[in-house]
Structures are given as C-alpha cells and as structure tokens.
Amino acid sequence: MRRINPRFSTLSSKKKSFKIDLPILITVILLTIVGLILVYDASVVQAYKDFGDKYFYIKQQLIWAVLGFGSLVFFTFFDYNFFKKISHLIFFASFILLIAVLVPGLGVAAGGAHRWLRLGFITIQPAEIIKISTIIFLSALFEKKVKTLPFVLILGSITFILGILQKDLGSSIVFFLTTLSIYIVAGAKLRYLFTFSPIAILGFIIFILKSTYRKQRILAFLDPFTDPQGFSYHISQILIALGSGSWFGLGLGQSRQKFEYIPEVTTDSIFAIVGEEFGFIGALILILGMSFLIYRGFKIAENAEDNFGKYLSFGLTFWLGIQTLVNLGAMVSLIPLTGVPLPFISYGGSALLANLIAVGILLNISKRPSS
C-alpha cells in the first residue's frame, strides 16, 4: 500500500493538474437525466390528481438534482481525508436525525412506516444520510485496525432502528450488507463472522415471522399472483408492466400501469415503467449503465492510495451496487418486495442528493496527477 506524506501531497497539488474519472461522471450525468425524464413520465397522473399540477414531482426532483450536482462538484474538490477528522461528528449528527424521525411532530408517517423527517419546508429521509455517514465513520475507524465491538454496536442499533422502529426493511438490509462489506474488506477475522452469522440469521427469521405484512411479502414472493387483489397486488402489477413491455416496450409516455395501478410508481417501482415503456432492451441498457458505474467505483477503490480512501470508495460503491440489486431484484421477483429507491432514477430528494454526494467523493478519491 503506497503512503503519501500529506504535506508533500498538498505542495505537489499546487504544481500539477489533476484528472478525475470522467467515465463515471458522464455515466452519472446520463443516469440522472434519464431519471428526471422517467420521474416526470411516471408521475404525471398522480401529480395532477393529488396537486392539480402534472409538473409537481419533476419540479421537486429538479431542485434536488441541482443541489445534488452542486454537492457533487463541492465534494469532488473537497479533500476527502478531512472526513477522518470529522467522521464521528457526521455520524453522530446523522444518528440524531435518524432518531428524530420517531419524535411526534417531527417524523412523518406514511403507509405504516416512519421514515421521513420534516425540517421546515423540506422533508428528508435520514436513512439515506445514515448510510453515507456510517460508511465514512467505519472507513476512518478501520483505517489502521478493525474494531469489532464498535462495529457490532453500530450494525445492531441502526439495523434495529431502521427495520423495527421505522419499519424500513429494505434500508435495513442495504445498511446491514454495506457495513458488513466494509468490515470484511478491512480485514475482519472470519471466525467473528461465523460467530455472528447464526445470530443474525435467527434474528432475521424472527423479524419476518413476527409481522403479518412481512410474512405476506414472503408469500407474494413465492407466488406473485396468489392474491392479485390483496397482498400480492403490488408485485403482480409490476410483473404485468414488465411483461407488457416485451422486447422493445410500448414507447415513452405510453405506460398504462402508471395510471395508479402500481403503488409507489415514481419511487421504489419506477423500474416497472422502464420495462413497460422501453422493454427488455431498454431495461438492459439501464442495468448496463448502472453496472458500468459500479465497475468504475471498484476500480477507484482498487487504485486508492491509502486505506481510508480504499475503504471509503469501496463502501460507497458497494452501497450503490447493493441498493441497485435489491431494487431490481424485488422488481423482477428474485427477492421479496422491499422499499428501496433505484439510485439516480427514483423520485426522492434525499436519495438523489446522497447518491450524488457519494459520486463526488468517489471522483475526489479518483483524482490523479496528469502527465
């Protein structure tokens, strides 16, 4: 592992220009533009019905996109090593926001879940913030040595808050797998994993069995059309949309399922509209774009010049990758339906902002002196 004296790095940066990973930047710009088009396309019916303005959702998303790209530019040139000094403050602040969701008057409940926090005139989802702040904190914590006890406390407490208290199973799974991946990459001893695995598996099974709606999601996964007017309605409508698209789709704007047949059509289920309007080929192109982004992110991690940069870039990339896999896997019924947004594509300001901040940090780590 190459080590660079920070003072030497600072002095040399004044004399040399730096190149960032342009392929990943271009890919993210294209994905975000596609996401904005899809959000408008999927939301027009619901936006006009709920607000009398078919542009309501896209106007909100455009604001967050501007903020997100502004943050991307900022973090591209913000020295990522400074995160080591403030990682505990970032984590503590995001943890407070996560807890504040449960405070009456601050938290916003919808669909039986408590996932949103109202701060003045904006509403944010702290689950997206805690993912990125925990990646930063663990990367700094594990830079020199893996520390198991703090990791277990963080993993257990936040997974419990997300999965049990906020009823956000999708985010708890993404958080669990992301933090576990950093723990493994940092050099955790396998015997610890074998020790905790049975406990985690048992806890997950109990977690599923103690909730009627979670058991129903498992049943809907096993047979998506077992109760098409009841608990398997959501996934059955998604599969109808995907099947209707066939190879080349019905065409942009021609979706029938967006007419309030699919719940959460602008957020968690937006990939169904991709499949319906652009078919298998269009969906495949989108998946390839996301795959290329993840590949470039892992290359940045591989080439990082210090442990902190390596763990940080790996964690951010794995987070984007696992969230993509969970969303797409649920959409095609490879895993039970879970509520996580598709990065850069789904409607949701907090998610888009966090995704673009993550890319800004990746671009910062990717910078190399030009020849």
Instruction: Give the pLDDT confidence of 313-365 residue by residue, as tens digits.
Output: 999 999 999 999 999 999 998 988 888 999 999 999 999 999 999 999 999 99
Enter the tokens of residue 211. Answer: 């909730």
For residues 282-310, average pLDDT: 95
**Among the ranges given (2-6, 48-52, 251-255, 310-314), the one the predictor scored with the smallest mean pLDDT:** 2-6
Task: Say whether pTM exceeds 0.85.
Answer: yes
Q: How would you classify the pairing of strands 18-19 and 107-110?
A: unpaired
- Which of 54-68, 97-111, 145-159 holds the top average pLDDT? 54-68
SS3 265: coil
| Confidence (pLDDT) at 227 | 79
Higher pLDDT, 114 or 3: 114
| 8: pLDDT strictly greater than 60 | no
Residue whose entry in the numeric block shows the structure tokens 């939301």: 43
Burial of 187 (0-12, 13-18, 19+ CB in 10 A): exposed
For residues 118-141, average pLDDT: 89
DSSP annotation of 163 reads I
| Confidence (pLDDT) at 330 | 92
